[in-house]
Amino acid sequence: MTARQGYVTTDDGVRLYFHVVGAGADVVIVPLALYLSPEFDVLASGRTLVYYDPRNRGRSDQVTDPAKLQDLMHREVEDLEAVRRHFGVDRVDLIGHSYAGIVVGLYAMKYAHHVRRLVQIGPGQFAYDRQYPAEFTNNDAVRADVFAKLMALQQQQPPSDPEAACRAAWVHLRRLQVWNPDRVDRIGHWGFCELPNERGFLASFNRYMVPSWRNLGLGSDDFARATMPTLIIHGLKDRNAPYGGGRDWAVSLPDARLISIEQAAHAAWIDAPQLVFDSIAQFLAGTWPAVAAKVQ
């Protein structure tokens, strides 16, 4: 594995940006490079991390052909498989955050023989329209305030500078990601509004990803195929992906355990970095963290 960065070309000709950190024998594939690197580089000790940006995200190709965005959730599964093949590794570990937590879960169901261990951090619920009780959904005052401010921005005169508009929105959006307001500045770089893919992410996500997500229709036979050990890490204060969704993954996958973090939101590794990274490192090394529990 000599190239430290470059592009993987998918089966339908889309180029996915990747970069590699570390040189260990165990290979970990991590979607959403923009948001998880370099913070997750701490896991590269003794292993190799392959980060990549999904299609139409980050530094990967901007996709304008709607045919290449249909059934996007499953397309991203095949893109992950293209990344694995590119590096010629038979069995890999996977780390997925947010909706990419769903993607790595789907990959594990379809390509179980290529997955050694699976980590999902704040994964989206696999049943898109499922409603959870209040204790499993954090619809707090911060969330209400952020969406009120975003609505106010939308009602203003449309900005002539899309990058500036994106940055104005992320002033508020970043508050959703963490529970501790003192840590908001630690994600000040999020948004990546200088990149066209990221400026257009929300519109593309709603148009292509959400319908694909809604149509997953996963059943017990699907989950039963993902037999590898799975560690799920979810903040109880998650405002983006309800904690109830993490519990559903933990209940549904055959060999899964859940770490529930009381004072953490969507980016749990920023609210509780030592707990998150120590737990993942221990899990990837072959041992369940003591705080990981089975969910009935």
Q: What homologous superfamily is domain 5-137+210-284 in, according to CATH?
A: Alpha/Beta hydrolase fold, catalytic domain (3.40.50.1820)
The pLDDT assigned to 3 comes to 56
Q: What is the pTM of this model?
A: 0.96
CA distances 111 to 74, 116, 191, 207, 261, Å, are 12, 11, 31, 27, 30
The pLDDT assigned to 155 comes to 85
Q: How far apart are CA 13 and CA 111, in angstroms?
A: 21
Cβ–Cβ under 8 Å, residues 274 and 42: no
Residues of the chain whose pLDDT is less than 50? 1-2
For residue range 207-227, what is the model confidence (pLDDT) as tens digits?
Answer: 999 999 999 999 999 999 999
Q: How far apart are CA 293 and CA 296, in angstroms?
A: 10
Full DSSP string of 40-96: GGGGGTTEEEEEEPPTTSTTSPPP--GGGTTTHHHHHHHHHHHHHHHHT-SSEEEEE
Strand partners of residue 97: 121
The pLDDT assigned to 189 comes to 77
The pLDDT assigned to 154 comes to 84
The pLDDT assigned to 187 comes to 86
252-263: b or e for each residue (b if 16 or more CB lie within 10 Å)? bbeebbbbbbee
The pLDDT assigned to 25 comes to 94
Beta strand pairing call for 115-121 and 47-52:
unpaired
CA distances 4 to 20, 22, 42, 48, 50, Å, are 5, 9, 17, 11, 9
Q: How far apart are CA 187 and CA 218, in angstroms?
A: 33
Strand partners of residue 20: 50
The pLDDT assigned to 2 comes to 46
SS3 content of the chain, % helix, strand, coil (to 5): 45, 15, 40
Element (H, E) at 232: strand 230-235
| CB within 8 Å of 179: residues ≥ 6 apart | 235, 237, 263, 264, 265, 271
- Of the candidates 244, 252, 269, the one whose C-alpha atom is nearest the C-alpha of residue 134 is 244
The pLDDT assigned to 1 comes to 46
Element (H, E) at 9: strand 5-9
- Of the candidates 37, 64, 61, 63, the one whose C-alpha atom is nearest the C-alpha of residue 49 is 37
